[in-house]
Amino acid sequence: MTDTDSQTTRTELDAIIEALHRDKRKRVRKLLRGMHPGKVASLLEALDGAERLALWQHIDDDREEQVLKHLTPLLGVQLRREPDTSDLTDEDEEGEGATTQIARVRDALEAGKFKRVGKAFRQMHPAKAAGLLEALPPAERSTVWEMLDAERAGKILVHLHDEVRARLALEMDEDELVAAARKLDLDDLVDLIQALPSDSGRQLLQAMDVRKRQQLLSMLSYPEDSAGGLMNTDHISVRADVRVGSVLRYLRLLEDLPDHTDKVMVVDRKNRYQGVLRLSRLVTSAPELAVSEVMDSDFQPLDVMLPSHDVARRFEDLDILSAAVVDEDGLLLGRITVDDVMDLIREDSERTMMNMAGLDDEADMFAPVLTSSRRRAVWLGINLVTAFLAAWVIGLFQGTLEQLVALAVLMPIVASMGGIAGSQTLTLVVRGMALGQVEGGNARLLLGKEIGIACLNGVLWALVVAALAVAWFGSWQLGAVIAAAILLNLLCAAVSGLLIPLLLRRVGVDPALAGSVILTTVTDVVGFLAFLGLATLFLL
């Protein structure tokens, strides 16, 4: 080793040791990657035990062997002793006392066992790895993320929720991100671009080759929640006038078909959609038959502008695995596969649930506190307005309350029973509307039924509450007033529970989102008004 060589090693060593001490893992990995394996080996030998092991954690797996060649056999054996990753990749056995998978991964990171964690994430199925990443707090998430190569990162990105996906994608260097993106299916790539801030998305788009960019641009031109936004362009199409035997020979040339190919599309000379040929039909047909004889020409293609909600409905109702997407002239553009529809259904139901609690778009449990606070504050603010409305109603009756403080004690009961009964009706109606089963044609009937239920339950609970109120405050009049108020509020809740979603839909607002706030406002106001108003009339 010459003196200058030793000199550079010395400087690099210092830089690496410093980065290692300051926990700049990314820098350590970058420095190591730029060094000759022999140098890395001599660096490892120069370090003491703990530091050596810490540094070893940052050597890329594919360079391990090269570095090991330069090490003394003893040291090699010592470093190579890689603990197995099974406890990290294993699902939990649901044992009460046992540590959970998330806890085990976090412990391993804490202990600096980066190689082990990285290996575990590479062995897991990408969907599982994505779930686990989302369960980690941001700092640990980034640590793991740095250890994954581009191909694996791409596969995991597909399975992440939009918010986390964008955040992790932005943590990657541009060339890493491009490398990861190149491995993605087009529809997943479109999702990724849409999840990114627009300038990062544009950069990514520019980095693709011309043909792919053209395809991406045409896919990006459709709304995200339409058939065009869901489709992929990896379909296989054949002509109707060829024979089954030729199709089989053609497919054999392809060697492997795109994932989820259950049918090939049949088109005419101008690429206009003619029908589909199911693989299950293809393999059971005689080779000499023409495609036109065995194809399924009744199978309806999806219009490229069909809203994704209707796409999902169609897949569910018709139990289909994939469907062709065509433009208004009937030209075949792509296909949608059931796996994407399944994701859509799951995301939709997740979003509805979150929206109902005023958690708009909060897909990342560990989003920064400030971001989350700001998002949630909106909903709290809306609620405050409605709460003050209810308070204002109560304020109208201050004189009554001063004379009869029992009213203040009992009034939340009236409001709360109305709220529960109303939300039962509301939920039933919102679900019915989502299924297309509630509309003008049967709304009146449903109203009749809901009023019937409100009467029965209203009388029942009015009597119960009245009995309890009489027992508590010893006033028959108070009992009568609260009974009347509860019955009134339950009736009003039934009517509002039905009308509010119908009205909201008419003005184009999602009833699942705004319905329950408005409903609670109504039941609070009516509850307080009925109870305190009746009390003012009859009890003073």
150-169: which residues touch a second copy (CB under 8 A)? Answer: 159
Closest contact distance (angstroms) between CB of 499 and a second copy is 16
Closer CB to a second copy, residue 42 or residue 101? Answer: 101
**Distances 323 to 227, 233, 261, 337 between C-alpha atoms, Å:** 10, 12, 10, 7
370 makes contact with a second copy (CB under 8 A): yes
442 makes contact with a second copy (CB under 8 A): yes
402 makes contact with a second copy (CB under 8 A): yes
123 makes contact with a second copy (CB under 8 A): no
Q: In terms of residues, how long is the chain?
A: 540
Q: Do strands 263-267 and 237-239 pair parallel, antiparallel, or not at all (unpaired)? A: parallel
* 231 SS3 class: coil
Q: Which of 252, 269, 329, 540 touches a second copy by CB under 8 A?
A: 252
226 makes contact with a second copy (CB under 8 A): no
Closest contact distance (angstroms) between CB of 312 and a second copy is 9
Question: What share of residues in the chain are helix, strand, coil (percent, to 5)?
Answer: 70, 5, 25
Applying CB under 8 A, the span of 68-76, 108-116, 215-223, 279-287 interacting with a second copy comes to 279-287
Dist. CA 413–CA 253, nearest whole Å: 73
Closer CB to a second copy, residue 196 or residue 454? Answer: 454
CA-nearest of 342, 362, 335 to 351 is: 362
Q: Which of 109, 179, 242, 408 touches a second copy by CB under 8 A?
A: 408
Q: Residues 291 to 350: which contact a second copy by CB under 8 A?
A: 315-319, 321, 338-339, 341-343, 345-346, 349-350
Closer CB to a second copy, residue 14 or residue 250? Answer: 250
201 Cβ neighbours under 8 A, 6+ residues apart: 193, 194
Applying CB under 8 A, the span of 37-45, 200-208, 210-218, 244-252 interacting with a second copy comes to 244-252
Q: Residues 473 to 532: which contact a second copy by CB under 8 A?
A: 506, 524
Closest contact distance (angstroms) between CB of 227 and a second copy is 16
50 makes contact with a second copy (CB under 8 A): no
265 makes contact with a second copy (CB under 8 A): no
Closest contact distance (angstroms) between CB of 292 and a second copy is 18
Is 463 buried (19+), middle (13-18) or exposed (0-12) by CB count in 10 A? middle
Alpha-carbon Rg for the chain, nearest whole angstrom, is 32
Closer CB to a second copy, residue 67 or residue 160? Answer: 160
Alpha helix stretches (DSSP H) within 360-405: 369-395, 398-403
Applying CB under 8 A, the span of 12-20, 166-174, 208-216, 405-413 interacting with a second copy comes to 405-413
Q: Which of 9, 57, 89, 101 touches a second copy by CB under 8 A?
A: 101
Dist. CA 154–CA 510, nearest whole Å: 34
The DSSP string of 173-218 is -HHHHHHHHHTS-HHHHHHHHHHS-HHHHHHHHHHS-HHHHHHHHH
417 makes contact with a second copy (CB under 8 A): yes
Dist. CA 41–CA 15, nearest whole Å: 16
Q: Which of 47, 331, 387, 514 touches a second copy by CB under 8 A?
A: 387
Is 428 in contact with 411 (CB distance < 8 Å)? no
257 makes contact with a second copy (CB under 8 A): yes
196 makes contact with a second copy (CB under 8 A): no
Closest contact distance (angstroms) between CB of 52 and a second copy is 29
Closer CB to a second copy, residue 1 or residue 139? Answer: 139
User: Sheet of 322-326: strands edge to edge?
Assistant: 302-303, 322-326, 332-337
Closest contact distance (angstroms) between CB of 504 and a second copy is 15
388 makes contact with a second copy (CB under 8 A): yes
Q: Which of 166, 180, 295, 421 touches a second copy by CB under 8 A?
A: 421
What end-to-end distance do the CA atoms of the chain give, in Å?
104
Applying CB under 8 A, the span of 50-58, 73-81, 196-204, 464-472 interacting with a second copy comes to 464-472
Is 15 in contact with 31 (CB distance < 8 Å)? yes
Q: Which of 410, 483, 485, 492 touches a second copy by CB under 8 A?
A: 410
Q: What is the DSSP secondary structure assignment for residue 269, as one 8-state letter?
A: T
Q: Which of 10, 272, 472, 477 touches a second copy by CB under 8 A?
A: 472
- How many C-beta atoms surround the C-beta of residue 271 within 10 A? 15
Closer CB to a second copy, residue 111 or residue 464? Answer: 464
111 makes contact with a second copy (CB under 8 A): no
409 makes contact with a second copy (CB under 8 A): yes
Q: Which of 438, 478, 481, 522 touches a second copy by CB under 8 A?
A: 438
Q: Scan for tokens 């790895």, then name that residue.
A: 129
* 84 SS3 class: coil
Applying CB under 8 A, the span of 66-74, 188-196, 212-220, 253-261 interacting with a second copy comes to 253-261
Backbone φ/ψ region at 418: left (φ over 0), alpha (ψ -120 to 50), beta = alpha
* 474 SS3 class: coil
